[in-house]
Structures are given as C-alpha cells and as structure tokens.
Amino acid sequence: MDKFYFLGECMVELRATEPSTMKQAFAGDVYNSAVYMKRSFPAIEAGMLTAIGKDGLSEKMLAEFKQEGLDCRFVFQHQEKSPGLYLIETDNTGERHFTYWRNDSAARKVMDFISPETTSLFTAGDSLFFSGISIAVLEESGRERLWKLLSELKTRGVKLIFDPNYRARLWSSPQQAASAFMRALELADIALPGVEDLTALFDIQTAEAAIAFCRPFNLAEVVIKNGPHSVVTSDNGQIEHHQITPVKEVVDTTSAGDAFNGVYLGARANGAPISDAVQLAARAAGTVIQHPGAIIPLEPFKSAMKSAGL
Ligand code: AMP
C-alpha cells in the first residue's frame, strides 16, 4: 500500500472560547493534510516527518498523532526545543487574527535528525508531501539539506508533492520565497497550488494562468485550487475544469486547502480518477470550513465523507 510522509511543523493551537478561557488543539498545514487523508482512507499509511520536543505538550502532540493513526517513525524529539505555538483571536467584527511563536520551535531543526539511514527507509513508490511553510520554517542550513534530501529521495523513486502555501511573514523577502518555490516545482511530481499563493509572488490571477505557469515544469499532475470558484487540474497536460458547490455558512476557512490536499491525494492513491478525487476533496474542505479550528471533530467529518460515498 502507498505510504505518504508529511514534512513540516505541527503547532500548539490556542483559541479563546470565553474571555478568560482558551481551547488548546494541535494543527499545522501538513499535519492537517495527514489527518484528513488518514481519516478518509485508513488503509493508507500516512506519517509525519517532523521534530517536536520532550516537554508535556510535545508528548500530548505525539499521543494525538498516534490517536489519528499516523505513523510516527519519523517524529524526532529534540532534547531542548519545544513546539511552536499560535493564538487565534477574533475581533468584534468577526475577523480572525493569528499570532505565532514559532521562531525557536523544534520543527525548525528537523533536518538535524535526518541521517543517511533515515533516507534509506524510504522506498520507490512512497510519497513525500511538503509545502512552502515546510521550507520556510527551516533554518538556513536546514533548507540546503532539504534540497539535497529531496533530490536523493527523487533518485530513489519517491514521489514529491508540493503545495506552495505562501505565508509572506515566514520569508525574509518575496524573492527568497519565489526562488524556493521555483526550485520545489522543478523537483516535484505533483503540485497543488492555490491561485492566491501565486498571486503575490508571480502576479497570477486566475486558475488558467496558474496552469500555464506550471506548464514548463516536469509535473505529472497539477491541481489548482481557487476557493469556492473552481478547481482546475492538469493530468500530463490534459486540462479539466471542476465545479465546486460553494458553502453558504462558512465558519472558519482554516485548513480548507490542507483538507483538500490530504483527501485528494488519498483518493488518487486509492485509484479514484481525478474528477472523483476533486469532488471528494472539495467535500472534505467544504465540511471543514463549516466548523471552527483546523482539525474538526471526527464524527461530522466521517459522516460528511460517508454521504459523499466513502
Ligand atoms: P482555497 O485554499 O481557498 O483555494 O480553498 C481550498 C479548497 O477549499 C477549494 O478548492 C474548495 O474545494 C474548498 N473551499 C474553499 N472555500 C470554499 C467555499 N466558500 N465553499 C466551498 N468550498 C470551498
């Protein structure tokens, strides 16, 4: 069976539920994708490739990874560092604001743990998913080692899957992000960018322009997400437009794209044609945005996926 590894950072999430009470959860783009893939396709092996600490919250995070059924063989525990943290605040107009404490997180150090032995545990047919955030949070030296790791894995026949997920504040300049994204796209086999991620860096305004932008790269599959408007895919150059049913009651769009990625990739690994995989993924994303937080409770998610035919 296919194995998917998700490289990146899972953080502690804090959200105020009452003026003096916070709800604590765990979330992070690639982690969210892993969770929604595994919940939808339990037979697929999905695991995290990350570093956490040895503190109490790290142990709770690790327990949650396991509870979600994720493979933890590549979850490394740093002696001194601890996980990054973010706070979600909602102002009196309902607008959400995020504050991050992640500059010194264990996940920034993940490349320190990757040895030739780690690399040798990947085999042809495995997939490694990484995002622009996965690259951005690494230390400078870690980024150089990441490029080497990706090239080595590619040579071993590991499929590389990339979502740019642009977060301006994680990069020292837009040029730095743009050049990292170009490098990632050169290595990737599958890309799943959102139109918005490409707008700021490459002045791309439409899904069609995003498809054209991706054409020069050697990507077998491209999936362009464009919010509620549409999804456009390219399968070895064959372009298809997919309709999305907009959700009327959007509560929180956090992790819509992440849920989409996890379920889309799971469905494809499970043999679904692209159009069916897009519809399932859109259903997952459309469900997630009707609930607060990145990781929604298991039950409403499972029942939505069941009614979508899973
Ligand atoms: P985005 O990252 O905004 O492009 O969203 C990712 C995916 O979430 C889209 O491809 C849609 O499948 C889904 N999505 C986002 N916003 C909505 C919405 N308002 N209604 C329904 N689906 C949505």
Residue 58 banded pLDDT, cuts 50, 70, 90: very high
Q: Would 257 be classed as within a structural domain?
A: yes
- Share of residues in the chain with pLDDT > 90 (%): 91
Nearest-angstrom CA–CA distance, 260 and 279:
9
CA distance 238 to 233: 8
What local confidence, expressed as pLDDT, does residue 17 receive?
84
Q: Is the residue at 119 inside a domain? A: no
What is the reported pLDDT for 81? 98
Q: Answer yes or no: are the C-beta atoms of 268 and 5 closer than 8 Å.
A: no
Q: What is the pLDDT of residue 180?
A: 98
> What's the domain count of the chain?
1
Residue whose CA is closest, atom 7 of ligand 1? Answer: 257
Residues 16-47: tens digit of each pLDDT: 888 889 999 999 999 999 999 999 999 999 99
| Confidence at residue 16, expressed as pLDDT on a 0 to 100 scale | 84
Classify 120 in phi/psi space as left (phi over 0), alpha (psi -120 to 50) or beta. alpha
> Of 126, 163, 197, 258, which is the active-site residue?
258
pLDDT of residue 259: 98
In a domain, 152, yes or no: yes
Helix/strand/coil for 95: coil
Domain with 83 in it: what CATH number?
Answer: 3.40.1190.20
Between the alpha carbon of residue 206 and those of residues 166, 168, 169, 190, 222, the distances in Å are 16, 20, 24, 19, 14
Task: Work out the angle at residue 245's Cα, subtended by the Cα atoms of residues 275 and 88, and round it to the nearest 5 degrees.
Answer: 105
Which tens digits make up the pLDDT trace of 189-242? Answer: 999 999 999 999 999 999 999 999 999 999 999 999 999 999 999 999 999 999
Q: Provide the terminal-to-terminal Cα distance of the chain, rounded to the nearest Å.
A: 18
Average pLDDT, the chain: 95
pLDDT of 89 above 90: no
pLDDT band at 94 (very low <50, low <70, confident <90, very high): low
**Which helix (DSSP H) or strand (DSSP E) does residue 27 occupy?**
strand 21-27
Asked whether residue 90 carries a pLDDT value surpassing 90, the answer given is no
Domain containing 187: what range?
3-114+127-307
Q: Which of 133, 166, 192, 225 to mutate to test the pocket of ligand 1 (most atoms within 8 A of CB)?
A: 225
In a domain, 218, yes or no: yes
- Look up residue 230 and give its two tokens: 């549409």
Quick one: average pLDDT of 90-101? Answer: 80
Res. 95 pLDDT band, cuts 50 70 90: confident
Q: Is the pLDDT of residue 93 over 80?
A: no
pLDDT surpassing 70 at residue 281? yes
* Residue 123 reports pLDDT greater than 90: yes
Residue 160 to residues 129, 148, 188, 275, Cα–Cα distance (Å)? 6, 13, 5, 21
Stretch 93-104: mean pLDDT, rounded?
86
pLDDT at 306 over 80: yes
Q: Which residues line ligand 1 (CB under 6 A)?
A: 194, 225-228, 231, 244, 246-247, 250, 253, 256-257, 260, 282, 285-286, 289
Q: How far is the centre of ligand 1, averaged over its atoms, from the C-alpha of 233 (Å)?
A: 15
**Number of neighbouring beta carbons within 10 Å of residue 191:** 24
Total Cβ atoms within 10 A of residue 25: 15
pLDDT at 295 over 70: yes
Neighbouring-strand partners of residue 162: 130, 191
Residue 121 lies in a domain: no
* 222 Cα–ligand 1 center, Å: 16
